[in-house]
């Protein structure tokens, strides 16, 4: 039988139709790149940037810088900030290692101080605790995840941003788990920097991601090198987005992302449908006796749970070997949140749905978990 794929929070599968064909056709065609050679061809980066600008509802598509993934985008932001001596960063315990590790590196190399704000049992930031941390530490910057990759809880990005801006902080949001599944509106919410990836809920290829940089935000380039234009300059050009895009771009992958974005515009996600399936799976797991982290909306289609007396790694292995169900187990690269969820040190089993997950697959997963739990009786 075909596998039941419930690991979309890691990377989506299947991709949007025709994505693979677009990437293959681009690789097979005569190489070209807009602005870098004499061979005229379609402006693939420009087309993709325009589609992303429409999705993010930002006015200037050139404020969107491409990167290989969200991790690179977060590093562009965090290493590009002009840190003051004694700077403080406020972030949350829900962050992915793509935030935590750069911050740890900066604490060692630049002497910044990192302060962590706790989350509730759903994995969501409490606005009162967030505001208290802002007043206490007076950070130069704040970083927060829009949606937890462990529980699916979506934070009130507009509220957290407004509080941070009132405290005078630069705001960086990780939208890796949200863009494509819930609205992400940087300009409307006043967010300075938004990192995202293309291979999760946007249904595009791996090797795609980016960073939105607000017009009044200045960053130093992290990578410098060839740009194909203004080659007489000793430093990176100041014009956007090329200031942050050194080297040969991954145009085939971004052509595939354009295909995925276009498909998404033509096939609008039915929020209620995917939420209903997520709630059905979470409720069914709880009814079977699993210890499920129950999350109130707004949320993404992510469910974390554990089974009594079962190591999470064993559950994942048996689900695949016995039932061809693909999921994720462990800490999910967000190690600090588990102490607040009661799932430390082992983590959880994580199911993450996509718009392609069927009702039949939901019931099949519940049957599989029921059989596993019956073995422990």
For 155-198, the pLDDT digits (tens) are: 999 999 999 999 999 999 999 999 999 999 999 999 999 999 99
Rounded to whole angstroms, the Cα distance separating 292 from 200 reads 23
Rounded to whole angstroms, the Cα distance separating 167 from 176 reads 25
**Same domain? 293 vs 371:** yes
**Same domain? 251 vs 115:** yes
**Same domain? 329 vs 220:** no
**Same domain? 61 vs 201:** yes
Q: What is the mean pLDDT of residues 47-69?
A: 98
pLDDT number for residue 6: 98
pLDDT tens for each residue of 239-297: 999 999 999 999 999 999 999 999 999 999 988 899 999 999 999 999 999 999 999 99
Instruction: Give the residue carrying structure tokens 């999705």.
Output: 55
* pLDDT at 38 exceeding the cut of 60: no
pLDDT number for residue 271: 80
Residue 123, sorted as left (phi over 0), alpha (psi -120 to 50) or beta, turns out to be left
**Domain containing 8 — which CATH number?**
3.90.1150.10
| Number of helical (H) and strand (E) elements in the chain, helices listed first | 12, 13
pLDDT number for residue 176: 98
Sign of CA dihedral 340, 342, 346, 350: negative
* pLDDT at 148 exceeding the cut of 70: yes
Q: Which domain holds residue 359?
A: 4-14+270-375
Structure tokens at 134: 């802002």
Which pTM was predicted?
0.97
Residue where a domain terminates, one of 199, 234, 265: 265
**Same domain? 221 vs 143:** yes
Q: What is the mean pLDDT of residues 199-208?
A: 98
pLDDT number for residue 199: 98
**Domain containing 212 — which CATH number?**
3.40.640.10
pLDDT band of 364, cuts 50, 70, 90: very high
pLDDT tens for each residue of 306-346: 999 999 999 999 999 999 999 999 999 999 999 999 999 99
Residue where a domain terminates, one of 250, 265, 280: 265
Residue where a domain terminates, one of 244, 265, 286: 265
pLDDT band of 116, cuts 50, 70, 90: very high
**Same domain? 178 vs 302:** no
* pLDDT at 41 exceeding the cut of 80: no
Q: What is the mean pLDDT of residues 137-159?
A: 98
Q: What is the count of structural domains for the chain?
A: 2
Rounded to whole angstroms, the Cα distance separating 79 from 338 reads 27
- pLDDT, the chain, mean: 96
Residues 6+ apart with CB under 8 A from 310: 372, 376
pLDDT band of 228, cuts 50, 70, 90: confident
pLDDT band of 130, cuts 50, 70, 90: very high
**Same domain? 201 vs 94:** yes
pLDDT band of 40, cuts 50, 70, 90: low
**Same domain? 179 vs 42:** yes
**Same domain? 229 vs 278:** no
**Same domain? 206 vs 253:** yes
pLDDT number for residue 35: 59
Contact (Cβ atoms closer than 8 angstroms) between residue 80 and residue 222: yes
Helix (H, G, I), strand (E, B) or coil at 213: strand
Rounded to whole angstroms, the Cα distance separating 256 from 203 reads 9
**Same domain? 209 vs 137:** yes
Beta bridge partners of 299: 153
Radius of gyration of the chain (CA): 21
pLDDT band of 42, cuts 50, 70, 90: confident
A 10 A CB-CB count for 144 gives: 23
**Same domain? 83 vs 199:** yes
* pLDDT at 34 exceeding the cut of 90: no
pLDDT number for residue 36: 58
């Amino acid at each position: 039988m075909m596998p039941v794929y419930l690991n979309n929070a890691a990377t989506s599968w299947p991709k949007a139709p025709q994505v693979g064909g677009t990437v293959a056709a681009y690789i097979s065609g005569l190489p070209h790149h807009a602005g870098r050679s004499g061979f005229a061809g379609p402006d693939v980066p420009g087309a993709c940037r325009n589609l992303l600008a429409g999705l993010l509802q930002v006015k200037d598509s050139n404020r969107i810088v491409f990167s290989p993934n969200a991790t690179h985008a977060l590093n562009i932001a965090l290493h590009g900030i002009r840190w003051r001596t004694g700077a403080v960063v406020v972030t949350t315990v829900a962050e992915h290692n793509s935030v935590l590790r750069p911050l740890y590196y900066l604490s060692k190399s630049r002497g910044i101080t990192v302060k962590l704000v706790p989350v509730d049992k759903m994995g969501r930031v409490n606005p009162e605790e967030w505001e208290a941390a802002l007043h206490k530490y007076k950070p130069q910057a704040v970083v927060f995840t829009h949606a937890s990759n462990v529980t699916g809880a979506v934070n009130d990005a507009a509220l957290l941003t407004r509080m941070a801006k009132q405290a005078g902080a630069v705001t960086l949001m990780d939208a890796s788990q949200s863009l494509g599944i819930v609205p992400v509106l940087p300009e409307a919410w006043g967010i300075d920097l938004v990192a995202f990836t293309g291979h999760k809920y946007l249904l595009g290829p791996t090797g795609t991601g980016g960073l939105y940089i607000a017009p009044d935000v200045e960053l130093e380039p992290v990578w410098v090198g060839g740009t194909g234009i203004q080659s007489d300059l000793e430093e990176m050009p100041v014009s956007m987005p090329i200031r942050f895009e050194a080297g040969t771009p991954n145009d085939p992958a971004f052509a595939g992302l354009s295909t995925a974005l276009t498909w998404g515009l033509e096939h609008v996600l039915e929020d209620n449908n995917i939420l209903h399936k997520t709630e059905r799976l979470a409720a069914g797991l709880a009814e079977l006796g699993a210890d499920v982290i129950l999350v109130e909306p707004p949320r993404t289609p992510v469910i974390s749970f554990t089974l009594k007396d079962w190591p999470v790694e064993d559950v994942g292995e048996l689900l695949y070997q016995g039932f061809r169900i693909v999921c994720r187990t462990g800490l999910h690269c967000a190690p600090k949140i588990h102490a607040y969820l009661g799932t430390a040190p082992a983590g959880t089993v994580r199911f993450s749905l996509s718009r392609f997950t069927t009702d039949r697959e939901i019931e099949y997963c519940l049957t599989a978990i029921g059989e596993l739990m019956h073995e422990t009786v």
